[in-house]
Structure 1
Amino acid sequence: MTSTVFVRDIMRLMEEIAPAKLAMDNDKIGLQVGNVDKPVSRVWVALEASPDTVDAAVDAGVDMIVTHHALLFRPIARLDTRQRRDRAIQQLLVHDIAVFSAHTNLDIAPGGVNDVIAGKLGLKDVEVLDVTYREPLYKLVVYVPTTHLDVVRSAIGDAGAGAIGRYTHCTFSASGTGTFLPGQGTKPFIGTQGELEQVAEARLETVVPDHLIHSVVARMCEVHPYEEVAYDILPMLQTGDEFGIGRIGNLERSIALEEFAERVRDEFGMRHIRFAGDPNLQVDRVAVLGGSGSRWVAASLEKGAQVLVTSDVGHHEAGDAWADGMAVVDATHAALEQPVCAVLAQMLRDKLRANGTSVTIEAAPVTVDPFTWI
């Protein structure tokens, strides 16, 4: 990355933090407004690009807003700038402020929304509540002269190939004879143009996860001695790491539901909170899901939780959940998800610093919760 940081650079870092492939079907993520080639010196991370957020960003000279909620989630039939929301979009365009959104991919990503919620509540032994993505694996097979087997094996292992459980650099090789006839214009490492060559070679194979396949192959080709590298990439039925929505974990000690609801209220800075269930119910296993998560009551029950912490729970949903034996703590949508903004801003700062660049990145100092408690 150069000393000048562009919108595309922030997007690239966001892809590392919350890959687009993790997003759930039909989600609206990615660049929503702006030019990928625009230089940026000040970036805000916000829950959403609300009219108040946009007004404050204009005043503060912000170049880019990274949001959790999509600005353009539903199709726009027209822009009527008499309306606040439409006028905010106009302001973004006039002042050339880019907006990039990471929604369910940030919910699902390690260290994202749901891990932040679980961390604030002190959950231990945290695991995914509902698996939504299993990373594809590929078998990489390459043919290498035996003189360079160790060099190629080390290079692809160092690039991340061959990781199985807690083991790394896992490969298998078998010896054989490779044949090739160098054609006109070639510069063979071994052999002579126009003459059939036989070489002692090894078939080297390993496993590579989807997100590393291109970088591993590139590194393999860098160290391989042949002018043309013979290799195969074969899809596997097995899958790699699992990712998913929501988290579930254990409390340090069992506490009553009412006391736990008070903890949620205090940790997320709310004046009031509501819950469904017996106030004296002893809680030691908790499911959390930022946003509208009442659809995951059954998954929470199946994994042994006594309570689900989520948002936007309706009357019938809360009643049905408790009738099925699952207590619900219903925090506001914004309160549960807002804390990820500061965490994500720090992640971006750390990545930029590691790349030797510096941009002002901060959580937007604007409250976007539409609800006021009295």
Structure 2
Amino acid sequence: MKTANGHEIIQLFESWSPKKIACMENDPIGLAIGTLNKEVTKVLVTLDVNEEVADEAIEKGCQLIIAHHPPIFRKLSNLRTDTPAGKLYEKLIKNDIAVYAAHTNLDVAEGGVNDLLADALELVDREILEKTYHEYLMKLAVFVPDDYAKNVRLALAKAGAGHIGNYDSCSFSTNGQGRFRALEGADPFIGDIGEMETTDEEKIEVVFPQSIKNKVLKAMLNAHPYEEPAYDIYTLAVETNEMGLGRVGKLKQPMTLVEFAEHVKAALNVPCVRVVGDMNKKVSKVAVVGGDGNKYIHAAKRSGADVFVTGDMYFHVAQDAQSIGLNIVDPGHHVEKVMIKGVAEKMDQLCRNEKLSVQFMQSEIDTEPFRFI
């Protein structure tokens, strides 16, 4: 195992939950406080960052905090250390503790907040509730001497090109003849300077998501024997890597709404829930959005969900849900705390895979502001 710096840890995090999939305009994600340019041996994972969490990080010797809720949500007009927020920032900076925030990108990511909530609720046959992100497929067509075509195909497959559904290493080839003349200053792999050359070539075609374009091109260029390979690359009108907010799935067995409400309480470890709907009505299909899901009631209804689990439900939105026949179970915003264990375990595995010696610690501070009596 080797030591890691903050940049390496966050690169691994963003390989799983990249900033580009965030679905809120101007979402203040990324490094919020401090620097990643340092050795990091301990990371505290938390839902929120308050002064108690900062004290916890200091006590545990953490150099980095990964939080779901950004500690600086709006741009600062000043940084006064005689305010609660300013005092918090001062404490973190003085103790050289960096804070990285992953907000809606962590909501959208596979295995992120909404998948963790769906896991807790034991939902099966899951789908995305509201699609918020996709990539387009691209196609590369490259012309390679016959004897080197296999090497190039293998290099492209290793880079991730040609992955279609449950198949990988997919490609299509046609054979033909390539013609060229090397000019002064060239270092031709085949033929001589100033002479027309004709050679048997294979045209290899592969598709890949746009996010790995640079990786695919680098692999092709490294494997290709020519000094100046001939290739075409273009974007297809085909969407791939669809991701989004919320999840929809089925219960293993139907329940009445009141039974399901009790299930939510137990699964998400909350003392109470708010419920909208007929308590005796059977529910089997469930939509879930962590945090504030008020604007997704119609998406939940369109999905065919019998009940929508989300927090911060407004009075009039609850009435709207009732009018369209959508049951609601509101366990509060703080159920997003499932990300603490989920992120810590995911990052521990990612760092182990890279043989990085980093300890991910789960915050034990309860940041739920509400108390129930």
TM-score (norm 2): 0.96
Q: Spell out, residue by residue over 1:5-26, the C-alpha distance to the aligned partner (whole angstroms, 9 max, x if none).
A: 1111111011111111110132
Please state if 1:255 is matched with 2:251. Answer: no
* 2: CA distance, partners of 1:354 / 1:186: 43
Q: Spell out, residue by residue over 1:66-124, the C-alpha distance to the aligned partner (whole angstroms, 9 max, x if none).
A: 11111121111122222222111111111111111111111111111000100111111
Q: Secondary structure at the match of 2:290?
A: strand
Residues 249 and 287 in structure 1, CA contact (< 8 A), matched pair in contact too? yes
- The Cα of 1:139 is off from its aligned counterpart by 0.8
Identity percentage over the alignment? 39
Pairs within 5 Å for 1:292-331: 292-331=292-331
- The Cα of 1:36 is off from its aligned counterpart by 2.6
Q: 1:126 maps to what in 2?
A: 126
* 1: CA distance, partners of 2:34 / 2:229: 41
- The Cα of 1:240 is off from its aligned counterpart by 0.9
* 2: CA distance, partners of 1:302 / 1:54: 42
* 1: CA distance, partners of 2:362 / 2:184: 61
Structure 1 residue ranges without an equivalent (≥5): none
Residues 257 and 280 in structure 2, CA contact (< 8 A), matched pair in contact too? yes
- The Cα of 1:324 is off from its aligned counterpart by 1.2
- The Cα of 1:51 is off from its aligned counterpart by 2.0
Q: Secondary structure at the match of 1:338?
A: helix
Q: Secondary structure at the match of 1:161?
A: coil
Q: Secondary structure at the match of 1:53?
A: helix
Q: Secondary structure at the match of 2:166?
A: coil
Q: 1:76 maps to what in 2?
A: 76
Q: Secondary structure at the match of 2:134?
A: strand
Equivalent position amino acid for 1:15 in 2: E
C-alpha RMSD of the superposition:
1.5
- The Cα of 1:338 is off from its aligned counterpart by 0.4
Q: Secondary structure at the match of 1:149?
A: helix
Q: 2:341 maps to what in 1?
A: 342
Q: Spell out, residue by residue over 1:184-220, the C-alpha distance to the aligned partner (whole angstroms, 9 max, x if none).
A: 4433221223333222212211101122222222222
Q: 2:144 maps to what in 1?
A: 144
Q: 2:234 maps to what in 1?
A: 234
Q: 1:158 maps to what in 2?
A: 158
TM-score (norm 1): 0.96
Q: Secondary structure at the match of 1:217?
A: helix
Please state if 1:45 is matched with 2:49. Answer: no
* 1: CA distance, partners of 2:136 / 2:32: 28
- The Cα of 1:225 is off from its aligned counterpart by 1.1
* 2: CA distance, partners of 1:196 / 1:110: 53
Pairs within 5 Å for 1:58-73: 58-73=58-73
Please state if 1:13 is matched with 2:12. Answer: yes
Q: 1:29 maps to what in 2?
A: 29
Q: 2:266 maps to what in 1?
A: 266
Q: 1:200 maps to what in 2?
A: 200
Equivalent position amino acid for 2:363 in 1: A
* 2: CA distance, partners of 1:45 / 1:195: 65
* 1: CA distance, partners of 2:355 / 2:259: 46
Q: 2:246 maps to what in 1?
A: 246
Residues 3 and 358 in structure 2, CA contact (< 8 A), matched pair in contact too? no
* 2: CA distance, partners of 1:204 / 1:16: 29
Equivalent position amino acid for 1:48 in 2: D
* 1: CA distance, partners of 2:97 / 2:186: 51
Equivalent position amino acid for 2:125 in 1: D
- The Cα of 1:252 is off from its aligned counterpart by 0.9
Q: Secondary structure at the match of 2:4?
A: coil
What is the aligned residue count? 372
Q: Spell out, residue by residue over 1:136-189, the C-alpha distance to the aligned partner (whole angstroms, 9 max, x if none).
A: 211111111111112211221232211222222222222222223333443322
Q: 1:332 maps to what in 2?
A: 332
* 2: CA distance, partners of 1:189 / 1:53: 62
- The Cα of 1:364 is off from its aligned counterpart by 1.4
- The Cα of 1:231 is off from its aligned counterpart by 2.1
Q: Secondary structure at the match of 1:357?
A: coil
Please state if 1:370 is matched with 2:366. Answer: no
Residues 48 and 70 in structure 1, CA contact (< 8 A), matched pair in contact too? yes
Equivalent position amino acid for 2:162 in 1: G
Runs of 4+ that moved beyond 6 A: none
Q: 1:187 maps to what in 2?
A: 187
